[in-house]
């Protein structure tokens, strides 16, 4: 935590060779100033993005304007908004609206809520985000994974079938606290906490969630009436097989499977030809219209084809008075909200970062969290459940040529019209279509390529990935999440307690020293043991490093004794990758020094200019 | 977690210069074998001390013998034991016995137990340890800090005054689970977990506990009858001042203060002249005898001088049936035991390591934990409370010339005789003497020199130290401990989320590149930005590193624009301290690459031989 306390690991590799030897003698850097250093440390930790930079050298009034623009970026980009940009936003907005309406209905079912709550959540939150968010490409609304997670966790507390009103109240409470969590993380600049969920764990979790969600859709797709409330694959498959003789409805299956084939084909076309991105984007709405028409004309609902039946007409009713602010459900709502809020945040930030990189603009993670938090807090008071950025809709938004968050406003407008005017038309929409749409949407969450890459790069990461995956599929969504977080943390702890050390040998005909395990041609230097420590030395690993070095020595001495070679007189510890060392580290090295003194082995630090770790002045190294 | 997956940070510094340039081209290391690597990883993490090494190439019977010797090292060293060694052990054992008896009585009071329980805890546990432990210098028994911690935590659950029997039962339960915790940590090879309590935090915690313990002794030293049960300095001082007019007893103060002066003088003598180490060691017992005699002759107890009064005669009664194995106290006992066990472990392991280094032998942390755990499990069934290694007594043991754990057996024997024969003599021992002995014992836990060194080396470590100190002194022992652990963890998390990055410049007349903040004479290379990343790149810091590098670039471009200098065309990222990179890291670097492509800035890795991080083959770097 002390940036630059006279410890410097050095020069650029390969540039060290020099004609006159004395030039290597570089003076000790000036003594750092404690107050300055502390300030720099705090700044780097919590304000690494330097949020106050634009306020510098500004007059009072200008500061207020900049402040408002910081909280509401729309005031900034809105002034430069043009009709040219609007054209792109309008097309993108209409495209994502056509995609989101059937998805919303399905996702609301995943969260065990009535269909209209999905639409509500695509109306208010996008408007708030458009004013406060800094991503230009993200499309806001309910998403599959968060809906599933929320539905499962809420169901653990209150049964949605027997007590839908209380269930809904708890959902709003959770949404409120999800917003509070997101807002606080951003406001207190703790956004870096979401980085603790590793990419690998998220990939596994998402793939597992996608499978779980797809399995849940078997209910709608096969027309099963009695379905398990559990989400693990064993319970679901048992439920599916158990109903094979009396529960399956062939008309439903016919509709569902044929439209699923159509949707997947559309998806394939969109993938093959990037210009036809709109095909998979409008296919869901087309399916809904065609299938609804079919059912209406053939009266298939009388043959047992289940339909959406009823969607409440009209825009979001207020729900602030339904939030539990006391009682036993306050704590439960808080817990569920915190988890759902963190997951929603992880997804939204990942999307924001991805698209910002593609268009080369910066998004401010902490500001995004404040925007997303505010959006969910307001959402919880207007009958919405947790909304966030959707991967599939954001990708469509981007490809349809959106320029700003106005596309979200357009989408929101279309949802408004839907709620006010056309909800009765969904009466005959078969559930099987909604199920097909969800399955085709979540399929892309299973990123086999990413998994293969993770396997290739890092086996421990793959363990986190596959652990999260199996946790979600075979146990439950929360369990998968817990496994993902635990493995991610375990990885950090392992990294800091068991850093690598390597025995170095000299490569023949060079003066380059390399790890002898990796370079079998590297030769040990007689009478000398060269060990490299591959990590900063902290209290968490100092004892291990000391003991590991002594063990290298014991092993080596044993071999030398057996082969009757001269014993070791010098131990060289290469500290080039050691960028920091704390008091425990110094302590351990002192002890190492003492132990070796007893064996009359001399210790040398390979860092020839002696300026690197000024702490060593205390150790006698 | 993948030791040596083709990633190698390199050669020894200062040896890179070479006559013929082509020799730098070193081939790519052979592809590592996954199974082998995984095995090596697990071995390094949990069996880094290679416990099965002695069993290699041995016959069946020999394996049994080695196995027994591993569990009971006494079978190994006992065979080579000689009378010469016994002489040293006898003297050391008698010395620590004379020190431990008065301390035990005082520490039992700290734990709110009757005096005999302190003596019991110095009888059975040292015997068990002597058979199973591998340290030759540690002296086992109750210690001040653990007694205080245990006393405070037990008092939070059950009041020792109104319900001493239940209090004692909970104490045995806690002791049992402290043993279980210690045993499990060792058995499952999780001993590295105690390394997470940093040295700095322990120094602060110990100093705070010493002050708290000393303050508690004011009760005995001033002869106050009504004393607070809280341990924070404010409550204690209020209690002391509140009783100034009617609670203080001048005879008690006279005895206490004069003997305290004597004890501190003895301590000073021992410190000045190492040969007189026995002076502070026997001073407590001498004080006890003299003061007891004084009180007996002057009948000072009639003047209000409080005495120890009664110590139960006879050895440890069995207490296995008193442990709570069910009910609400099971959970509480487990929690208290776990905390006390961990702290006891930290102290014992630190002592073991310190003296092992001084005499140059190895102690096996995990085996020590199994020994200490067994000792406390057996202790809990024989009316002992948590015992561990004592710093002060171990130091005396070492200086008195102990050779093996036999000195603990001698001490145990003396305690046995004390319990059987001379407990009635303590009837007239004034409490003030016990208080003086404890104060003079805990004074050395306040290690001002260590604190000064921590301040000098690492300010963040000092924060952990002082946080733990103030937490103990002003709030409570548990709170101080919690603060110590939290700050230690926060430090690890900070270290992995906010690694340092440095801007490098070329030192004039050299080809050495250094951090320009530390070396103001280092000059930036025109048209080039050189950034060094000072840590492995993992999911927890990959985004930060990416954004930090982009920020260096933005800052630099702004300066260049203002001063109308040529803009940056190359970004060189020095990855020499980067010893590992995971999938998230690769991902972040890919994104960085894309961002810079947009700005048409070329990225170069300074590692000229391209073999270091084979993962980069996937990134286009």
B599 to chain A: nearest residue by CA?
A360
What three-state secondary structure class fits A110?
A: helix
List the strands of the sheet with B528-533, edge to edge: B513-515, B501-506, B528-533, B570-574, B602-605
Same domain, A579 and A432: no
Region of poorest pLDDT, from A18-32, A66-80, B308-322, B401-415: A18-32
The highest-confidence range among A246-255, A256-265, A530-539, B378-387, by mean pLDDT, is B378-387
Q: Which of these three, B430, B463, B490, is where a domain ends? A: B490
- Cα–Cα distances (Å) from A52 to A47, A185, B34, in that order, read 9, 18, 49
A364 to chain B: nearest residue by CA?
B547
What three-state secondary structure class fits A568?
A: coil
Q: Which residues contact A111 (CB under 8 A, 6 or more apart)?
A: A117, A118, A142, A147, A148, A150, A151, A154, A171, A385
Q: Which of B13, B45, B197 is opposite residue A606, by nearest beta carbon? A: B13
For chain B positions 111-140, those within 8 Å of chain A (CB to CB) are none
Region of poorest pLDDT, from A271-275, B8-12, B471-475: B8-12
Structure ipTM: 0.73
- Better-scored residue on pLDDT, B46 or A76: A76
Cα(A472)–Cα(A213) distance, integer angstroms:
10
Name residue B504's beta-bridge partners: B515
Task: For residue A517, report the phi and psi dihedrals to the nearest 5 degrees.
Answer: -70, -35
Same domain, A274 and A134: yes
- Contact at CB, B544 and A454, closer than 8 angstroms: no
Locate A617 and state its tokens. Answer: 């002045």
Q: Does A30 touch chain B (CB under 8 A)?
A: yes
Cα(A40)–Cα(A35) distance, integer angstroms:
9
Percent of chain A with pLDDT over 70: 91
Region of poorest pLDDT, from A315-324, A482-491, B174-183: A482-491
CA atoms within 13 A on the CB side of A456: 12
B34 to chain A: nearest residue by CA?
A459
For chain B positions 458-477, those within 8 Å of chain A (CB to CB) are 458-461
Q: Does A358 touch chain B (CB under 8 A)?
A: yes
- Better-scored residue on pLDDT, A556 or B620: A556
The answer to whether residues A225 and A242 touch, using CB atoms and an 8 Å cutoff, is no
Domain assignment present for residue A266? The answer is: yes
pLDDT, tens only, A435-465: 999 898 888 889 899 899 888 888 888 888 9
pLDDT, tens only, B397-421: 998 889 999 999 999 999 999 999 9
Domain assignment present for residue B15? The answer is: no
Here the CATH number for the domain that contains residue B597 is 3.30.750.24
H/E/C letters for each residue in B427-439? HHCEHHHHHHHHH
Same domain, B454 and B594: no
pLDDT, average across residues A565-592: 84
CB neighbours of residue A437 within 10 Å: 26
Domain assignment present for residue B67? The answer is: no
pLDDT at residue number A128: 95
The answer to whether residues B343 and B387 touch, using CB atoms and an 8 Å cutoff, is no
Name residue B505's beta-bridge partners: B514
pLDDT at residue number B27: 65
- Contact at CB, A357 and B608, closer than 8 angstroms: no
- Cα–Cα distances (Å) from B478 to A244, B149, B211, B470, B483, in that order, read 59, 7, 15, 12, 9
A497 to chain B: nearest residue by CA?
B192
Domain assignment present for residue B33? The answer is: no
pLDDT at residue number A251: 84
pLDDT, tens only, A417-438: 999 998 888 888 888 998 999 8
pLDDT at position A559 over 60 = yes
pLDDT at residue number B224: 84
pLDDT, tens only, B213-247: 999 888 888 888 788 888 889 988 988 888 877 77
The answer to whether residues A404 and A191 touch, using CB atoms and an 8 Å cutoff, is no
- Maximum distance among all alpha carbons in chain B? 96
Per CB-CB distance under 8 Å, the chain B contacts of A357 are: 591, 594-595
pLDDT at position B620 over 70 = no
Locate A7 and state its tokens. Answer: 């410890």
pLDDT at position B70 over 90 = no
Same domain, A119 and A158: yes
Per CB-CB distance under 8 Å, the chain B contacts of A532 are: 9-10
Angle at alpha carbon of residue B208, lines to B207 and B209, rounded to 5°: 90
Same domain, B486 and B548: no
Same domain, A566 and A597: yes
The answer to whether residues B17 and A16 touch, using CB atoms and an 8 Å cutoff, is yes
Nearest alpha-carbon partner for A110 in A477, A466, A465: A477
The answer to whether residues A527 and A570 touch, using CB atoms and an 8 Å cutoff, is yes
Cα(A337)–Cα(A380) distance, integer angstroms:
11
Locate A36 and state its tokens. Answer: 């300055």
The answer to whether residues B386 and B430 touch, using CB atoms and an 8 Å cutoff, is no
Task: For residue B388, report the phi and psi dihedrals to the nearest 5 degrees.
Answer: -160, -170
Cα(A616)–Cα(B1) distance, integer angstroms:
29
Distance in angstroms between the alpha carbons of the first and the last residue of chain B: 23
Cα(B108)–Cα(B120) distance, integer angstroms:
10
Domain assignment present for residue A481? The answer is: yes
Cα(A345)–Cα(B139) distance, integer angstroms:
54
The answer to whether residues B216 and B503 touch, using CB atoms and an 8 Å cutoff, is no
H/E/C letters for each residue in B246-282? CCCCHHHHHHHHHHHHHHHHHHHHHHHCHHHCHHHHH
* Beta strand pairing call for A602-605 and B513-515: unpaired
Domain of B174 in residue numbering reads as: 82-304+317-490
Per CB-CB distance under 8 Å, the chain A contacts of B586 are: 457
What three-state secondary structure class fits A602?
A: strand
pLDDT, tens only, B73-119: 898 888 889 998 999 999 999 999 988 999 999 999 999 999 999 99
Locate B564 and state its tokens. Answer: 């109308």
Q: Which residues contact B201 (CB under 8 A, 6 or more apart)?
A: B464, B465, B467, B468, B484, B485, B487, B488
pLDDT at residue number A2: 37
Same domain, A96 and A139: yes
- Contact at CB, A535 and B540, closer than 8 angstroms: no
Q: Does A496 touch chain B (CB under 8 A)?
A: yes
Same domain, B505 and B385: no
Same domain, A130 and A170: yes
Angle at alpha carbon of residue B15, lines to B12 and B18, rounded to 5°: 135
Is the pTM here over 0.90, yes or no?
A: no
Same domain, A509 and A434: no
Q: Which residues contact A340 (CB under 8 A, 6 or more apart)?
A: A146, A149, A150, A153, A174, A175, A178, A386
pLDDT at position A28 over 80 = no
pLDDT at position A16 over 70 = no
Domain assignment present for residue B57? The answer is: no
Q: Which of A459, A513, A582 is opposite residue B34, by nearest beta carbon? A: A459
| Number of domains within chain A | 2
Per CB-CB distance under 8 Å, the chain A contacts of B587 are: 199
- Contact at CB, A498 and B45, closer than 8 angstroms: yes
Per CB-CB distance under 8 Å, the chain B contacts of A38 are: 459
pLDDT at residue number B49: 67
The answer to whether residues B388 and B345 touch, using CB atoms and an 8 Å cutoff, is yes
Residue A462 burial by Cβ neighbours in a 10 Å radius (0-12, 13-18, 19+): buried
pLDDT at residue number A96: 92
pLDDT, tens only, A478-505: 888 888 888 877 877 777 788 888 888 8
pLDDT, tens only, B421-469: 988 888 888 889 989 998 988 888 898 998 998 888 888 888 889 999 9
Q: Does B189 touch chain A (CB under 8 A)?
A: no
- Cα–Cα distances (Å) from B88 to B133, B137, B401, B403, B453, in that order, read 19, 12, 5, 6, 35
Q: Which of these three, A456, A490, A524, is where a domain ends? A: A490
The answer to whether residues A514 and A503 touch, using CB atoms and an 8 Å cutoff, is no
Q: Which of A507, A539, A544 is opposite residue B26, by nearest beta carbon? A: A507
Q: Does B544 touch chain A (CB under 8 A)?
A: yes
- In the structure, what pLDDT confidence band is assigned to residue A7 with cuts at 50, 70 and 90? very low
DSSP A520-542: TT-BPPTTEEEEEE-S-B-TTTH
What three-state secondary structure class fits A508?
A: coil
B517 to chain A: nearest residue by CA?
A4
pLDDT at position A21 over 70 = no
The highest-confidence range among A30-44, A183-197, B25-39, B332-346, by mean pLDDT, is B332-346
pLDDT at position A13 over 80 = no
Q: Does A295 touch chain B (CB under 8 A)?
A: no
- Contact at CB, A11 and B49, closer than 8 angstroms: no
Q: Which residues contact A297 (CB under 8 A, 6 or more apart)?
A: none
Same domain, B532 and B460: no
pLDDT at position B616 over 60 = no
Residue B274 burial by Cβ neighbours in a 10 Å radius (0-12, 13-18, 19+): exposed
Q: Which of A195, A504, A583 is opposite residue B199, by nearest beta carbon? A: A583
pLDDT at residue number B358: 81
Q: Which of these three, A448, A468, A490, is where a domain ends? A: A490
Nearest alpha-carbon partner for A116 in A370, A348, A426: A426
Same domain, B341 and B224: yes
Q: Does A447 touch chain B (CB under 8 A)?
A: no
Locate B103 and state its tokens. Answer: 């301390």
Q: Which of A199, A507, A606 is opposite residue B583, by nearest beta carbon? A: A199
Domain assignment present for residue A421? The answer is: yes
Cα(B295)–Cα(B432) distance, integer angstroms:
11
Domain assignment present for residue B162? The answer is: yes
pLDDT at position B1 over 60 = no
Measured over the CA atoms of residue B29, residue B34, residue B39 and residue B43, the dihedral's sign is: positive
């Amino acid at each position: 935590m002390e940036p630059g306390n006279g410890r410097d690991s050095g020069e650029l590799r390969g540039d060290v060779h020099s004609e006159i030897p004395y030039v290597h003698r570089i003076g000790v850097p000036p003594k750092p100033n404690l107050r300055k250093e502390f300030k720099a440390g705090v700044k780097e930790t919590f304000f690494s993005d330097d949020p106050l930079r634009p306020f510098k050298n500004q007059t009072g009034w200008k500061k207020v304007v900049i402040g408002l623009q910081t909280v509401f970026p729309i005031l900034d980009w809105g002034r430069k908004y043009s009709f040219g940009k609007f054209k792109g936003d309008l097309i993108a907005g209409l495209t994502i609206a056509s995609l989101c309406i059937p998805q919303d209905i399905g996702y609301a079912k995943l969260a065990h809520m009535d269909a209209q709550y999905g639409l509500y959540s695509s109306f208010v939150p996008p408007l708030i985000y458009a004013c406060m968010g800094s991503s230009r490409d993200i499309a806001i609304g309910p998403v599959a994974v968060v809906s599933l997670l929320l539905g499962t966790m809420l169901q653990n507390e209150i049964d949605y079938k027997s007590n839908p009103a209380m269930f809904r109240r708890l959902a709003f409470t959770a949404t409120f606290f999800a917003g509070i969590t997101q807002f606080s993380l951003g406001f207190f600049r703790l956004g870096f906490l979401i980085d603790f969920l590793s990419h690998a764990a998220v990939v596994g979790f998402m793939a597992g969630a996608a499978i779980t969600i797809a399995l849940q859709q078997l209910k709608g797709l096969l027309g099963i009436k009695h379905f398990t409330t559990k989400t693990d694959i064993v319970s679901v498959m048992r439920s599916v097989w158990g109903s094979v003789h009396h529960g399956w409805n062939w008309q439903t299956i016919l509709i569902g499977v044929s439209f699923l084939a159509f949707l997947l084909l559309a998806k394939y076309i969109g993938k093959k030809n990037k210009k036809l991105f709109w095909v998979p984007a409008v296919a869901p709405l087309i399916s809904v219209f065609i299938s609804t028409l079919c059912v209406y004309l053939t009266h298939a609902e009388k043959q047992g084809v289940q339909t959406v039946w009823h969607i409440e007409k009209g825009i979001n009713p207020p729900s602030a008075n339904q939030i539990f602010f006391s009682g036993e459900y306050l704590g439960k709502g808080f817990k569920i909200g915190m988890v759902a809020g963190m997951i929603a945040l992880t997804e939204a930030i990942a999307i924001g970062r991805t698209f910002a990189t593609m268009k080369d603009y910066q998004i401010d993670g902490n500001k995004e969290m404040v925007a997303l938090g505010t959006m969910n807090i307001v959402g919880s008071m207007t009958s919405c459940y947790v909304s966030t950025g959707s991967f599939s809709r954001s990708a469509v938004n981007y490809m349809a040529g959106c320029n700003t968050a106005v596309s979200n406003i357009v989408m929101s407008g279309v949802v408004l019209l839907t709620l006010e005017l056309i909800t009765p038309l969904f009466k005959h929409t078969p559930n099987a279509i909604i199920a097909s749409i969800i399955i085709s949407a979540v399929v892309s969450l299973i990123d086999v390529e990413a998994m293969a890459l993770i396997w290739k790069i890092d086996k421990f990461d793959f363990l986190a990935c596959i652990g999260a995956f199996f946790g979600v599929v075979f146990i439950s969504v929360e369990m998968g999440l817990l496994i993902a977080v635990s493995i991610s943390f375990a990885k950090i702890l392992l990294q800091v307690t068991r850093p690598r050390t390597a025995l170095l040998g000299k490569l023949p005909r060079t003066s380059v020293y390399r790890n002898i395990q990796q370079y079998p041609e590297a030769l040990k230097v007689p009478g000398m043991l060269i060990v490299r420590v591959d990590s900063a030395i902290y209290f968490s690993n100092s004892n291990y490093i000391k003991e590991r070095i002594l063990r290298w020595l014991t092993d080596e001495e044993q071999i030398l004794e057996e082969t009757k070679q001269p014993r070791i007189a010098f131990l060289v510890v290469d500290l080039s990758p050691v960028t920091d060392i704390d008091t425990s580290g110094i302590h351990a090295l002192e002890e190492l020094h003492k132990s070796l003194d007893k064996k009359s082995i001399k210790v040398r630090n390979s860092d020839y200019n002696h300026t690197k770790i000024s702490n060593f002045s205390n150790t006698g190294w």
